[in-house]
Structure 1
Amino acid sequence: MAENRAPKSGLAAEAQKKLLSKYDNQLASEVMEWVRRTTGGDFSASGEIDNVHEVLKDGVVLCKLMNVIKPGAIPEKKISSSKMAFKCMENIGFFLQEAKDMGVLAEETFQTVDLWEKQNILAVVICLQAVARKASKYGIEGIGPKESEGNRRNFSEEVLKAGQNVIGLQYGSNKGASQSGMNFGNTRHM
């Protein structure tokens, strides 16, 4: 667990410092409040890194959240309340798999150790924000911007062929203009 790790040094310390500088307590508080409200949980919705880690590290709250969004997504018998590391990380893994199945992009998810070992809590917050966006598709009130639904257009063959005859402005049409008579910078004096 994170308490048993040696302090980072060198490049690892610089990378960790950069990650911590990007962490947004306000965003984390908003996400944790959404998780608390959605699950009906009785925990602090503070956005402090230590609180986010403490509330979510065993994965039980994450599994409950996923079961509220998608009932039965993670069977209750699979969710372990044990505090053993591999069981907690298994719970987190169940949540991550269901998040990917919901359509959360791989870039918006986190690795299990990011949460379990408190390596990158920002990634956890970003993942939960993405899950909250996707939750509106399942009838759960989400947070953040509404997901776009696409605007597919179907053109007839006639319209597509007519479009091939149009010369776009990116081809450099300048109506016969030339550079004759233009003086670009200083001229050479002899």
Structure 2
Amino acid sequence: MQRPTGYGLVPQTDGKLEEKMDAFAATDIPEKIVSWLNAVLDNPADACKSHDWKDIQEFLKDGTRLCRFMKSVGDPRRIPDMRVDPQTQFACMDNISMFLNAAKEIGVKDDDLFQPEDLYNGEKGPFSRVINTLDQVGRCSLAMRNSAVPQYGA
């Protein structure tokens, strides 16, 4: 569902979120996230090609890569019924929600989790929440010290 524009604080909030995304883009965080995602997923033919927010969003939008990623980083049982080839928005959102539940289980705080719409809808401002969540997953994974997967930021 598209958020209305021009009502209440929506334009101000969206503007601040876009500024936050611009601030993330000015750091190495998106690049670290993409490198880590590609290393963990270990499929060069199906790798995210750049660390631009829109490319990351398209790469993760259906949630399948997020689920496969989380199965590798954490306990595979945390992603019980991933929809391998989601054809509907509902199926994509279901995959994204499974990832978010698994992220919470490995220690990402509720306040650091994005909403499924932040990824699926592909708006620059809200996508900053997705980057933040992935960064927090990376930090939590470092605390888990799973040597079987590539480490975040390595």
- Whether the 8 Å contact between 2:93 and 2:120 is mirrored in structure 1 is yes
**Cα distance in 1, alignment partners of residues 128 and 137 from structure 2:** 14
- Can you give the 5+ residue segments of structure 1 that lack an aligned partner in the other structure? 145-190
Relative contact order: is structure 1 or structure 2 higher (C-alpha 8 Å, sep ≥ 6)?
A: 2
Match of 1:8 among 5, 14, 30: 5
Query: How do 1:138-149 and structure 2 match up within 5 A?
Result: 138-139=145-146, 140=149, 141-143=151-153
**Cα distance in 2, alignment partners of residues 138 and 45 from structure 1:** 27
Q: Secondary structure in 2 aligned to 1:83?
A: coil
Q: Does 1:91 align with 2:82?
A: no
Question: Which one has the bigger helix percentage?
Answer: 2
One-letter amino acid of the counterpart of residue 20, structure 2: K
- Can you give the 5+ residue segments of structure 2 that lack an aligned partner in the other structure? none
**Cα distance in 2, alignment partners of residues 50 and 129 from structure 1:** 17
**Cα distance in 1, alignment partners of residues 36 and 48 from structure 2:** 11
Match of 1:65 among 65, 69, 92: 69
Identical-residue share of aligned pairs (%): 27
Which has the higher Rg, Structure 1 or Structure 2? 1
RMSD: 2.0
One-letter amino acid of the counterpart of residue 31, structure 2: S
- Whether the 8 Å contact between 1:27 and 1:47 is mirrored in structure 2 is no
Q: Does 1:134 align with 2:137?
A: no
TM-score (normalizing by structure 1): 0.66
Q: Secondary structure in 1 aligned to 2:76?
A: coil
Change in CA separation of 1:14 and 1:67 when aligned onto 2, cut-off 3 Å: same
The equivalent residue for 2:17 is 19
Write the deviation string for residues 91-140 of structure 1: whole angstroms up to 9, x where unpaired.
Answer: 00000001101011111111111111124111111111111112131414
One-letter amino acid of the counterpart of residue 143, structure 1: G
The equivalent residue for 1:114 is 118
**Cα distance in 2, alignment partners of residues 58 and 50 from structure 1:** 14
TM-score (normalizing by structure 2): 0.80
